[in-house]
Structure 1
Amino acid sequence: MSELKLQPQADVSLQRWHAMIAQQDLGGLPDLLDAAVVFRSPMAHAAYPGAPLVATILGTVLEVFQDFAYHRQLATADGLDVVLEFSARVGDRQIKGIDMIRFDEQGKIVEFEVMVRPLSGLQALGEEMGRRLGAYLVASKAQA
C-alpha cells in the first residue's frame, strides 16, 4: 500500500466519513454502507453483518473513544481499499489502531475491519463496548 488515490466514488464516501468523524456525528453513515456490509472487530472471531448493526457498532465506538484522531491514510492500487491509522484513548488507556475499509465501485462500504494495540487498550475497549452493546450484539447474532 502507498499514498495512492481512491476511486472517485470511494473518495467521496471517505471524505464524508472524515467529515462525520470531525463532527462527531455518524447520522449519515447508513447512506455510506452497503446493505450487506460486514464489520470485523478486534475482539470477536466472527464478523458482524448488515448495515444497521455496523452503523450501531461504529456509532458506539465513536462515543467510547476519546481524543480520537486519524494520522495516516494508505490506499491500494485498485483504489477500493484504504487503511487509516488512528490513535485514541479509552479511559486511561492510550491506543493505536487501524481502520481497514473496503469500498465497492459505487463508493459503498462493504467491509470495515479494525485492529487495535496494545492489549491493555484493546481490553479496555472490549469491556466498554461489551457494557454498552453486549446484549444488543448477542441478540443480533441470535437473529442472524
Structure 2
Amino acid sequence: MTALQGLQPEAQKTLTRWHEILIQKDTSTLAEITSDSVVFRSPAVFTPFAGKQAFVFIIATVAGLFEDFRYHRQFASADGSSAVLEFEANIGDKTLKGIDMIRFDENGLIAEFEVMIRPANALVALAQKMGEQAGPGLAHMRAASA
C-alpha cells in the first residue's frame, strides 16, 4: 500500500513495515514495531489483551488462519497518530470484512490495536478457529498477567 497521507513519519514507517509483515506472512519481526505496553482489542472477546507477547501471538495466529487477506482502504486521524485499515479475508468458506484501528505511540510503535469484523457468522468461524489454535496459549497469558 502507498504511504498514508497525514500520518506522522515514525508511524508511517511502522505502518509500512506492518504491511510488509503481512504480505510476506512473516511475523518474526512484529515485536520490533510494537510497544511493550500494547493493548489488543479483539472482536471476539470483551476483555482486551495487554502486552507485546500476547499481541504478537494473536497476530501470528490470525495471519496463519486468514486466507486471501487484503487491505482495501486506509485512513489517518487528524492528529496523525492513528490509522484505520479496511480489510477482507476468507476463513474457511466464509468471507469477512473488517477494520484494524491502530494507534501509534510517540515513537511510532503500535500502542493500541482494535479489530472489528462482520458478518457475525464469519466472526464466529474466526473465533472458533482461534480457540482451537490459540485458546490454551491465550488462557496461559491471561493467567500470567492476572
Q: Same fold (TM over 0.5)?
A: yes
Identity of aligned residues (%): 46
Name the count of aligned residue pairs.
Answer: 142
Per-residue deviation, residues 50-91 of structure 1 (Å, max 9, x unmatched): 001100100100000000000000010111100000000000
Q: Show the 5 A alignment for 1:101-140.
A: 101-140=102-141
Q: What is the TM-score when the length of structure 2 is the normalising length? A: 0.95
**Match of residue 74 from structure 1:** 75
Q: Does 1:33 align with 2:34?
A: yes
Q: What is the TM-score when the length of structure 1 is the normalising length? A: 0.96
Q: Show the 5 A alignment for 1:32-111.
A: 32-111=33-112
* Cα contact 1:4–1:76 (8 A) shared by 2: no
- Let me know the Cα RMSD of the aligned residues: 0.9
SS state of the match for residue 60, structure 2?
helix
Superposition misfits of 4+ residues, deviation over 6 angstroms: none
Structure 2: give runs of 5+ residues left out of the alignment.
none
SS state of the match for residue 74, structure 2?
strand
In 2, the alpha carbon distance for the partners of 1:134 and 1:18 equals 26
In 2, the alpha carbon distance for the partners of 1:20 and 1:43 equals 23
**Match of residue 8 from structure 1:** 9
- State the shift of 1:4 in Å: 4.1
Per-residue deviation, residues 88-120 of structure 1 (Å, max 9, x unmatched): 000000000000010012111000110000000
